[in-house]
Chain A
Amino acid sequence: MSAPNRLIGSALERVEDLRLLRGRGQFVADINRPDQLHAAFLRSAVAHGMLRGVDAAEALSLDGVHAVLTARDLGSPMPLLPIRLQPLPELEPFCQPMLADEKVRYVGEPVAVVIADSSAIAEDALDLIAVDIDPLPAITNRDQAEAAGTLLFPEHGSNVSMRWNAVKGDADAAFEAADYTRRETFTVQRHAALFMEPRGFVAEWDTDAEKLSVWGAAKVAFANRKILAATMGLERDQIDMIEGDVGGSFGSRGEFYPEDFLIPFAARHLGRPVKWVEDRREHLMAANHARQIECDVEIAATRDGKILALRGTNWTDNGAYIRTNGSIAPRNAAQFMSGAYDIEHIRLTSYSLTTNKTPTGTYRGPGRFEPDFVRERLIDLMAKDLGLDPLDVRRRNLVPADKMPYPLATMTPFESVTSLDSGDNHALLDRCLAEFGWDEKVALQGQCIDGRYHGVSVGCFIEGGAAGPSEDARIVLESDGSFAVYLGSAGVGQGIETIMGQIAGDALGVPFERVRVHYGSTAYVAEGFGSFHSRSTVMGGSAIVLAAEALLEKLRPIAAAALGCALDAVVFDEEGARDADGKAVAFDALSDAPVSAEARFENKKYTYSYGSLAAHVAVDPKTGQVDVLDIASTKDVGRMINPATLNGQSVGSIVQGLGGTLLEEFVYDSEGQLLTGTLADYLLPTATDFPNIRSTVLELAPSPHNPLGAKGAGEGEIIPVGGVIANAVAQALAGFGVEPMALPLSPPNVWRMLQEAIP
């Protein structure tokens, strides 16, 4: 870099805040096009059944209704929702049709789309459509799915869509030789990302230019453009995906859903712009669910607490279809079961099951939150059985710094080998204990104070980041001397406009105010991979560093000519270029016409942030209420771009994890009806729930895999929350012998465990 760091590492206030705080954000619901129509979706009210017919005659006769689209209107073969990550051919039979055709497989599955003058009329028309469904038995749990009395996809012959294996060493031999083994079954409940801005699109088809514009893009605009082009029979360059302000993703928003196809399709079909904004009830049954898993896992160790091996089986409930990234949680749950620990022998299998529920996808820390709950619980159970201090057991088993890079289990199919890149787990654990005040708090372990039982626990985690393959950046020196940065990354509310500006400012050696960052839309760069797997900062940021270097090299001869000096005498500074004698030329004088450079950062190696999280809880045995009195976390991200946004991610991530641990749950009845269809039934954390959350983010071990040294850090602290809280509850209720094996630890569930434990 041409100038010392000034922007990277500083807690700059965000650029985006100025518009967002004043109510001037441009979210998709704020976009309107002249002459636009509005869409509403008719969704299946039946979880499983043969779709015999859809009669829309009455709806069509309603004033203001322009069309009712059903499967028949989409052509043959019916376009399917493709798999974006790990597109294995075995999974193809489980892809979702854009509209239900012969069968409906979950409550909320789109059956028809009404297009009308207003969304109110479109919604009125939904009530006038008659749907004829012959119900089939609903598969709502693992036993039913495995019994296979009813099959969602009879031609496949099983409700198991896929099997993944994680293997390292020789687990069976290690178990054979072990002093100690314990096998338990754990479950994590179905919950979801629940970002606050409902999904939505405005699509416009320009008949003359044969071009499609889609507002409402997020997360992976380039990948979605590819899918849209393929399903609509268009070339990619006929489509512009436009990203405005985005109200959160956490893995879920921005994945390709049926609506991503149906709204553009309707716009082209009718030759008019079409707008749709999801309502919350619809969101709860239509957007990806996540996390539901059952894990039967066994741990082997020596008598003195050295973990030797893990083996077992996971079953994820993937819902009715495999969606774009539906395979990530089951495969991750196998590969990341060992987490931050040095475990030589592993054999874990994950099965994904199809059931008559909303399909699943990634949610922040996918397939990481779940196995962390399992592993951290097993470690505490083992410590207790062996009469060891759980903290000592963790210290004893963490991957030591001198074993880095440290290989994880190898996955098949879609073979993947990965290693923890760098880090000092022990240092992060010690720092966490210090921040938390462990010594003081651990004295309260199991004590009853004013009617509540206290417990503390600590756990260690890793967070994978920086998924490849690449990211593009283009930087343009404009004729006014400012720099425009164009990026293939996407913003989902994490503040990348600011973060990328900081990286660009330092890479170019110019003040922040001189840089404008443009991202998210497909028009800016040739290719982009977006925002998932904690990748934006590392991948997009590294591309910016490379593009800045390229741009300065392009400017060097121009500057040399202007200054009349040799190429290597040119030095760039904040204002422009100067020569050895101090003669200077400003940037705006170097750019009669805009000068542009583009670069691609390629990376196949993941980064691994890592850290620890400690919690202090108090449990009221009369109500089962778990109060979280304090949480302190540490995380090493290698290099911090903006400490304020990073800490913000950490605290937000922890509170989301607490929601998933204590409050949130999608409940289905035996017919496959979703019983938690409003935010009054599906409980999210509120401001009174968790007041004491502290995070510490450190820069200890830079990643060797990118020029910034940064590690992906957007998911992080959510990962250990379930395991740590469950262990703290177990410590609090140790006197009763309560050992939580299932989430959520909601008051009724904790109360029930206590009733069962009290003789």
Chain B
Amino acid sequence: MKAAFEVNGESVEVDVEPRLSLADCLRDVLGLTGTHLGCEHGVCGACTVIVDGQAVRSCLTLAVQADGERITTVEGLSPEAGLSPLQAAFRKHHALQCGFCTPGMVTTAHALLSEEPDADADRVREVLSGNICRCTGYVPIVEAVLEARAAYRKMEGES
């Protein structure tokens, strides 16, 4: 089955089995391995990508459902060189250890702050509670996301 969509600003067309998940399509067909699979049953959030502005679990989405959508993965949130302000805040606060959950945390936080650059700590925790991290205990992740708000407010002000 064919599906055409945009990934990180580029148009792609894939011809895949209807049962192929969007996560497997991104990873195995398109080579975007930054999107991780931690559970494949919709609980851990490691596979989170942004579909038309919304954080979506790519393990629960079929590739063919992405037809016509605009998808952003962690690769698409990364500047050519160096780190985005959100990524830099993660690094500064030591908000990752093994880094396996990190792409999902970054995409989830990006979707949140793009919509709500003033989200408070409770709101950040609430939104991140759909993503499991086994290493950090979340404290530094929340700190990082709170610090990154400034950059999103600025972006909002500029746009």
Chain A residues close to B by CB (< 8 Å): 11, 13-14, 16-18, 20-25, 27, 29-30, 120, 194-198, 245-248, 250, 277, 279-281, 492-495, 644-645, 647-649, 651-656, 678-680, 684-691, 693
Q: Out of B39, B87, B103, B121, which one reaches A679, CB within 8 Å? A: B39
- The verdict on B56 contacting chain A, using a C-beta distance below 8 Å, is no
Say how far A660's CB is from chain B's closest CB, in angstroms: 12
Q: Which A residues are CB-close (under 8 A) to B94?
A: 11, 13-14, 644-645, 647-648
Main secondary structure of the interface of A (DSSP, over half): loop
Please determine whether B38 and A197 come into contact, CB atoms closer than 8 angstroms. Answer: yes
Chain A contacts for B99, CB-based, 8 A: 16-17, 20-21, 25, 245, 247, 493
Interface string of B23-65 (1 = CB under 8 A from A): 0000100001111111111011010000000000000000000
Tell me whether B91 is interfacial, beta carbon within 8 Å. yes
Report the minimal beta-carbon distance from B11 to chain A, rounded to whole angstroms.
Answer: 20
Chain A neighbourhood of B96, CB < 8 A: 17, 20-21
Q: Is the beta-carbon distance between B141 and A687 smaller than 8 angstroms?
A: yes
User: How many Å lie between the Cα of A25 and that of B96 in the bound state?
Assistant: 12
Contacts A280-B38, A493-B97, A648-B136: A687 and B121 contacting too (C-beta < 8 A)? no
Given A23-B35, A494-B98, A649-B97, 16 more contacts at CB 8 Å? A13-B91, A14-B94, A18-B91, A21-B78, A21-B87, A25-B100, A247-B36, A280-B41, A493-B100, A645-B94, A648-B140, A651-B140, A652-B135, A688-B129, A691-B121, A691-B139
How far, in whole Å, are A196 and B43 apart by their CA atoms in the complex? 12
With A656-B134, A679-B132, A688-B125 in contact, is A493–B74 under 8 Å at CB? no
Contacting residues, chain A, for B34 (C-beta < 8 A): 22-25
Residues of the B chain whose Cβ atoms lie less than 8 Å from the Cβ of A649: 97
Q: Given the interface contacts A648-B136, A651-B137, A687-B125, does A22 sit within 8 Å of B43 by beta carbon?
A: no
Interface check B7, CB cutoff 8 A: no
Q: Are B100 and A247 in contact (CB under 8 A)?
A: yes
A-B pairs with beta carbons under 8 Å apart, 26 shown = A13-B94, A17-B91, A17-B99, A21-B87, A21-B106, A22-B34, A22-B87, A24-B34, A27-B33, A196-B133, A197-B38, A197-B100, A279-B39, A281-B41, A493-B98, A493-B99, A494-B97, A648-B136, A651-B136, A651-B140, A652-B134, A678-B41, A688-B125, A688-B129, A691-B125, A693-B139
| Chain A proximity of B80: nearest CB distance (Å) | 10
Contacts of A281 in B (CB 8 A): 41
Closest to A494 in B: B97
Question: Chain A: which residue is nearest B79 at the CB level?
Answer: A22
A248 with B135, Cβ < 8 A, contacts A645-B94, A648-B97 known: yes
Q: Which residues of B contact A (CB under 8 A)?
A: 17, 19-20, 27, 32-41, 43-44, 46, 73-75, 78, 83, 87, 90-92, 94, 96-103, 106, 121, 124-126, 128-142
Interchain CB contact under 8 A, A20 and B43:
no
**Shortest Cβ distance from residue A194 to the other chain B in the assembled complex, whole angstroms:** 6
Q: Shortest CB–CB separation between residue B62 and chain A, in angstroms? A: 13
Q: Known contacts A13-B91, A684-B132; decide if A196 and B100 are in contact (CB<8 Å).
A: yes
CB of A27, distance to nearest CB on chain B (Å): 7
Which residue of B78, B100, B133 has the most chain A CB atoms within 10 A of its CB atom? B100
What are the residues of chain A within 8 A of B106 when measuring CB–CB? 21
CA–CA, A23 to B34, complex, Å?
4
A248-B43 CB under 8 A given contacts A20-B102, A655-B138, A688-B129? no
- Closest B residue, CB atoms, query A492: B98
Main secondary structure of the interface of B (DSSP, over half): loop
* Contact residues in A for B128 (Cβ distance below 8 Å): 686-687
Give A246 to B130 CA distance when docked, in angstroms: 22
Query: Which residue of A is nearest B141, CB measured?
Result: A687
Smallest beta-carbon distance A632→chain B, Å:
13
- Cα A653 to Cα B91 in complex, Å, equals 19
Q: Report yes or no: B140 in contact with A686, Cβ–Cβ below 8 A.
A: no
The 6 closest A-B pairs by CB, nearest first: A23-B34, A493-B98, A20-B99, A247-B100, A655-B137, A23-B74
Among B27, B34, B139, find the residue whose CB has the most chain A CB atoms closer than 10 A.
B139
Cβ contact of B36, chosen from A24, A27, A246, A679, cutoff 8 A: A27
**A368–B83 CA distance with the chains assembled, in angstroms:** 40
Note all chain A residues with C-beta closer than 8 A to B101: 196
B103 touches A23 (CB 8 A): yes
User: In this complex, what residue of A is CB-closest to B97?
Assistant: A493
Closest-CB distance, B33 to chain A (whole angstroms): 4
A281 to B19, CA, bound (A): 19
Among B44, B78, B134, chain A packs the most CB atoms within 10 A around the CB of B134
CB distance from A444 to the nearest CB of B (A): 23
Given contacts A22-B87, A494-B97, contact A196 B137 (CB under 8 A): no
A634 to chain B, nearest CB (A): 17
In the assembled complex, the CB of A639 is this many whole angstroms from the nearest CB of chain B, namely: 19
User: A27 — which chain B residues lie within 8 A by C-beta?
Assistant: 33, 36, 100
B74 near A22 with CB under 8 A, answer yes
B22 to nearest A CB, angstroms? 15
* Distance between Cα atoms of A688 and B129 in the complex (Å): 6
Residue contact B17 to A120, C-beta cutoff 8 Å: yes
Task: Give the distance in Å from the alpha carbon of A440 to the alpha carbon of B43 in the complex.
Answer: 39
A120: chain B residues at CB < 8 Å are 17, 19-20
- Residue of chain A at shortest CB distance from B89: A21
Q: Are B92 and A21 in contact (CB under 8 A)?
A: no
* Nearest CB of A to B10, in Å: 15
B44 lies within 8 A of A196 (CB): yes
Q: Report which of A18, A196, A245, A654 forms a contact with B132, defined as CB distance below 8 A.
A: A196
Which A residues are CB-close (under 8 A) to B138? 655, 685-687, 690-691
Contacting residues, chain B, for A689 (C-beta < 8 A): 129
The residue from B20, B100, B134 contacting A684, defined by CB atoms under 8 A apart = B134
Chain B positions within 8 Å of A21 at CB level: 74, 78, 83, 87, 90-91, 96, 99, 102, 106
> Are B121 and A29 touching (Cβ within 8 A)?
no
Pairwise interchain contact B40-A22, C-beta atoms closer than 8 A? no
Contact with B97, one of A22, A248, A680 (Cβ below 8 angstroms): A248
Q: How far is the CA of A679 from the CA of B47 in the complex (A)?
A: 15
Given A247-B100, A248-B100, A679-B44: A195 and B129 interface contact (C-beta under 8 Å): no
Bound CA–CA A248/B99 (angstroms): 9
Residues of chain A contacted by B32 (CB below 8 angstroms): 23
Check B136 against A248 for contact (C-beta < 8 Å): no
A14 — which chain B residues lie within 8 A by C-beta? 91, 94
> Could you tell me the distance between the alpha carbons of A687 and B121 in the complex, rounded to whole angstroms?
10
CA distance A18 to B103 in the complex (A): 12
Cβ B36 vs Cβ A197 within 8 A? yes
B26 CB → nearest A CB, Å? 10
A368 to B94, CA, bound (A): 27
Q: Is A195's CB under 8 angstroms from B39's CB?
A: no
Across the interface, B134 reaches (CB within 8 A) one of A18, A194, A644, namely A194
Taking CB atoms, residues of chain A closer than 8 Å to B130 are 686
- Chain A contacts of B124 at CB under 8 A? 687
In the assembly, what is the distance between CA of A24 and CA of B128, in Å? Answer: 22
Query: Which partner residue on chain B sits nearest A25 by CB separation?
Result: B99
B23 vs chain A, min Cβ distance (A): 11
The answer to whether A651 and B35 touch across the interface, beta carbons within 8 angstroms, is no
- How far, in angstroms, from A245 to B98 measured CA to CA in the complex? 8
A687 touches B142 (CB 8 A): yes
Which of A13, A20, A25, A30 has the largest number of chain B CB atoms within 10 A?
A20
Contacts of A197 in B (CB 8 A): 36, 38, 98, 100
Chain B residues with CB below 8 A from A492, complex form: 98
